[in-house]
Structures are given as C-alpha cells and as structure tokens.
Amino acid sequence: MKMSFRAKRLERQNQRLAQASKLNLVALMDIFTILVFFLMVNQSEVKVLQSNKDISLPRSLSQQLPTEKVMLTITANGVLVQGKPIWQGDWQQDSSLWLPELTQALTDELNYLAQRAGPLPEPQQQVGRAMTILGDAATPYALLRQLMAICAATEYRDLSLAVEAASPAAVSEAP
C-alpha cells in the first residue's frame, strides 16, 4: 500500500523528534564564565571580619568598609593577635598583676609582625601601621585605652574599632 504525502511527512517528523536531544555545552560554559566573572567582581563589596563566637561587637553606624589589617581581638579571658592567643588571664584581677605580662607579650608580638612587614615608607611613618581592634561591647574602656597605648608604642597608631553595622533606627533606639 502506498503512503500518502501527509503520512510520509508525519513519519519523517516523528523520526526527527525521536532522536535524543544533544546538550549544547558551549552555551552552558558561556553562562558559567559570565557567572564566575560576576562573582569575582562583586565579592569585594562585602567585607566580613573574622569574629569570635564569644564576642558581641558594639552596634554602630559605620560608613567605612574594613580592610586587611592586623587584628587584635579582646575576649573575656584573653587577647589574640591575628587569631593567635598571646595572653590569657582574668580582667577582674588587679591590673598591676596582669598588665606587665600583657604589655610584654603584646609588644613582642606586634614588634615581630612589624619586623616581618618591613620598614614603613616615609609618608606612612607619621600615621603608623594599621590595626583593627575587635572587642566585646562589654569590654571596659580603661582596658581598651591601655591596649591602644601599647599598640601606639609599637608603631601601630592607625587604629580602627570593629563594630557591627546597624540601621539608623536601631542605633537611635538603643539605650
């Protein structure tokens, strides 16, 4: 029996559609390439400081983004520089008991880091080296001042305090 023209056309179409579809990898690779470049460009907009679970940073309105600096972390029972514990003790004791030991340990560590970084260029000598201090919101101001004085004595005078960014309404409502 002879097939009609319409039947032949339908058979050809069915054979063509029955073939397994091919995956076009070129278009997929183009999309992933664009995605990689997009993520690389936009990753620099958000800066996250490495934080300790024990520290709750004070909330503040901050317009500046953090940069890579030496990190001094003040916890409830010690001091860390770049994540390395350099002193552990109790802040509640008389400061004459722990201050000399803390001063010596912090000075030694900051001098070591400054030596590894090399000498300061002439224009930067007036400002000093940069450091970010991460301290709990409950850290006493007197302790913070003592640590800042120790840092300033070892070329680390460009100090920044890390805060948790908050909306203007949240800061105005805080006690």
Same domain, 150 and 112: yes
**Domain assignment of residue 109, yes or no:** yes
**Domain assignment of residue 51, yes or no:** no
Same domain, 75 and 140: yes
Per-residue confidence (pLDDT) for residue 100, from 0 to 100: 87
Same domain, 36 and 98: no
Same domain, 41 and 65: no
Q: How far is CA 88 from CA 75, 98, 106, 157, in A?
A: 9, 9, 11, 24
Same domain, 10 and 65: no
Same domain, 10 and 40: yes
Per-residue confidence (pLDDT) for residue 77, from 0 to 100: 81
Same domain, 64 and 36: no
Nearest to 49 by CA among 154, 157, 162: 162
Q: Is 71 in contact with 132 (CB distance < 8 Å)?
A: yes
Return the percentage of the chain with pLDDT > 70, whole number. Answer: 80
Beta pairing, strands 84-88 & 158-161: unpaired
**Domain assignment of residue 175, yes or no:** no
Domain that holds residue 110: 59-165
How many domains does the chain contain in total? 2
- Which CATH number do you get for residue 66? 3.30.420
Residue 110's CB is within 10 A of a number of other CB atoms, namely: 22
Long-range CB pairs of 165-173 (<8 Å, 24+ gap) are: 165/59, 165/60, 165/61, 165/62, 166/59, 166/60, 166/61, 168/61, 170/59, 171/59, 171/60, 171/61
> Quick one: 34 exposed, middle or buried, by C-beta within 10 A (0-12, 13-18, 19+)?
exposed
Same domain, 118 and 37: no
Same domain, 120 and 79: yes
Per-residue confidence (pLDDT) for residue 105, from 0 to 100: 92
Dihedral angle, C-alpha 78, 79, 85, 87, nearest 10 °: -70
Length, in residues, of the chain: 175
Same domain, 33 and 77: no
Q: Which two tokens stand for residue 90?
A: 């109790």
* Residue-level pLDDT, tens digit, the chain, 175 residues: 788 999 999 999 888 888 777 777 777 788 889 888 888 877 765 555 555 666 766 666 766 666 678 888 888 888 889 888 898 887 777 777 888 888 899 999 999 998 998 888 888 888 888 898 888 878 888 888 989 999 999 889 888 887 777 666 554 555 5
